[in-house]
Amino acid sequence: MTARQRRKPAYQLVRCAALLGATFVTVKPLPARQRVEVQTSDSAIVALAAFVAGAAERVSHVWPGFWSEQEGFILADPGKWVVLYTTVPAPPGFAVSSSHVGTTRKLPGQVYVLGGEWADLAASRGGVDIEFVLGLDTVTAIPIRDSASATLSLLYHEAFHGYQRRRFVASQRPLEAFGGAVISTPEYEAAAEVERRILLATLHEEDRQTVAHLLRAYLAVRRRRTQSLPVEVQVVERHLERMEGSAEFVGHRMRIVALNEQAEQLVHILERRLTDSLRAPNVANKAHWRHRYRIYGTGATIALWLDRWNPTWEQALERGRDFEELLSEAVDFRAFEADSLAEEAMRDFGFEELVRHFRDWARRPAPAPLPAELAERPIPPIEPRPTLHSAVSPRFTTPNAS
Ligand SMILES: [Zn+2]
């Protein structure tokens, strides 16, 4: 170990673990109050809906202008119950619920319940409706998850996409696909993995200067990875990061505020998102899905640092700026330092070893392709997992295998 490396103990710890291929994420046990299970009964879902309505004022501080007591939404237990909160009269078939869990104030809306499915509502069949038109109201509709916290994260995330449609200056509309060939080289995969490791390392650091240094290194490696890509691939990455990274950040932050969880819970969630996002079976074998899906965690982690360091980043993002630009400004990233920063970070975070790893994978016989319906199924926008992975090395597979 060199003297330079010894000056950064926590950074170094992460690096060593990274080189061993472990996930090195120690996630603290969740406090008991976060394990509120949503029971499969209308009353539990009604209670959760009333709780969300009652938490509106609290969560409205997370993103200026997003969410209020007027915000309508639907929580569906597919095939069993559709629970609606709205300020306008409910459609025929819905029964008024008298539940006022979670607030003592009179809300402007009302919770309603419908048994069974509701035709045309994707959420009642397990999907998500970002902007479901309901008479005079437009609501976000989601299927419930296996816990209250996961359900809330999903609801706020998807509702934020509706807000983006209304309020964000649109980025250039890219095709939502990464070209498999350009992003499947061992060097590209290795650089992307180095970037993920650097962002993960920032979550373990407390010293602002160290974090800023890591983030400059992140930007330098990213620049090196992306600069030779066709411009449309760069546009896709920036667009997805702007939309999904902010929705991911907002979804988890609002659920933390709603449930009165500890603020640092967000760091643990982001650790999991940065680590788990490449493990889903329908992601691991597909380069374009893998690179799409990693953006949820990387974008939300960048959002965390912008939120701490730039008091007006939300407005800037709404007006059309992207995470890479805003982060570059926040950490004073200078182009003339980029090469030396990138080389240092690639050395410290195991770039060469990763390149060898991905080359080895590329030489192996292609794995059996996933069944088409699994391979092409859209990945759920967010899926916080109740079980945590540990010591799992990334299952990167043969580029262009499919
Ligand atoms: Zn999303």
Q: Give me the pLDDT at residue 23, please.
A: 26
- List Cβ neighbours of 351 (8 Å cut-off, separation of 6 or more): 190, 191, 194
| Same domain membership, residue 184 and residue 138 | no
- In this structure, the number of other CB atoms found within 10 A of the CB of residue 50 comes to 23
Report pTM: 0.79
Cα 17 to ligand 1 centre (Å): 30
Q: Are residues 210 and 148 in the same domain?
A: no
* Closest to 93 measured CA to CA, from 123, 118, 129, 124: 118
Cα(357) to ligand 1 centroid in Å equals 31
Q: What is the pLDDT of residue 314?
A: 97
Residues 127 and 189 in one domain: no
Contact (CB, 8 A) for 69 and 58: no
Task: Check whether residue 147 and residue 231 sit in a common domain.
Answer: no
CA of 153 to the centre of ligand 1 (A): 11
Q: Are residues 217 and 335 in the same domain?
A: yes
Give the CA diameter of the chain.
72
pLDDT at 232: 77
Q: CA separation (Å) from 141 to 17, 51, 57, 65, 292?
A: 41, 16, 20, 20, 24
Examine the domain organization and report whether 112 and 237 are in the same domain: no
What value, to the nearest 5°, has the Cα angle with vertex 325 and ends 380 and 230? 70
Task: Give the distance (Å) from ligand 1 centre to CA of residue 154.
Answer: 9
CA of 379 to the centre of ligand 1 (A): 10
Residue 363: per-residue pLDDT:
72
Q: How far is the CA of 303 from the centre of ligand 1 (A)?
A: 14
Residue pair 341/220 in contact by the 8 Å Cβ criterion: yes
- Same-domain check for residues 85 and 129: yes
| Predicted pLDDT of residue 197 | 92
3-state helix, strand, coil in the chain (%, to 5): 55, 10, 40
CA of 151 to the centre of ligand 1 (A): 14
Residues 114 and 13 in one domain: yes
Report the separation in Å between the CA atom of 292 and the middle of ligand 1, taken as the mean of its atom positions. Answer: 11
Tell me the residue length of the chain: 402
Residue 384 Cα to ligand 1 midpoint, Å, equals 13
Q: How far is ligand 1, taken at its centre, from the CA of residue 314, in Å?
A: 17
- CA 126 to centroid of ligand 1, rounded, Å: 16
Do the domain assignments include residue 286?
A: yes
The list of the chain residues with pLDDT below 70 reads 1-41, 98-105, 172-183, 277-288, 362, 364-402
In the reported structure, the alpha carbon of residue 381 is separated from the centroid of ligand 1 by a whole-number distance in angstroms of: 4
What total number of domains does the chain contain?
Answer: 2
- Residue 186: the pLDDT is 84
- Burial class, 211, CB count within 10 angstroms (exposed 0-12 / middle 13-18 / buried 19+): buried
Please give the residue range of the domain that contains residue 38.
Answer: 3-167
Indicate whether 199 and 348 sit together in one domain: yes
List the beta bridge partners of residue 134: 137
